[in-house]
């Protein structure tokens, strides 16, 4: 993840299902890639998501793992690194848009 003001999403996640599976009462599985794309484009982020396990996996578990990884990456991108003495971790020196 890069908060670069250059929105781009790459992922190789396999959300294919045989039926119209619902994640919860209101969210269908087929909307997950759209949700990720919307987050990335509106947040002006560059995000690469790689599915490490290619075995038969529950789509719900894949969605939860992706959400947690996305949140953790966003947390690390926005937190202050004490090794940099409070300076922004950016070659441009700012995270502003």
| pLDDT value, residue 94 | 59
Structural domain boundaries of the chain? 8-84
Per the prediction, the chain carries an average pLDDT of 81
| pLDDT value, residue 73 | 92
Contacts of 81 (CB under 8 A, 6+ apart): 89
Interior angle at CA 63, CA 60 and CA 69, nearest 5: 140
| pLDDT value, residue 29 | 80
What is this structure's pTM?
A: 0.76
Q: What is the pLDDT of residues 41-70, one digit of tens each?
A: 999 999 999 988 766 667 888 888 899 999
């Amino acid at each position: 993840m890069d908060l670069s003001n250059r929105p781009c999403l790459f992922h190789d996640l396999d959300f294919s299902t045989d039926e119209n599976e619902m994640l919860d009462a209101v969210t269908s599985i087929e909307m997950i890639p759209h949700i990720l794309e919307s987050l990335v484009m509106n947040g002006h982020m560059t995000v690469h998501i790689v599915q490490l396990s290619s075995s038969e996996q529950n789509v719900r578990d894949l969605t939860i793992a992706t959400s947690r990884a996305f949140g953790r990456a966003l947390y690390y991108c926005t937190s202050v690194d004490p090794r940099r003495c409070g300076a922004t971790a950016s070659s441009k020196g700012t995270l502003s848009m």
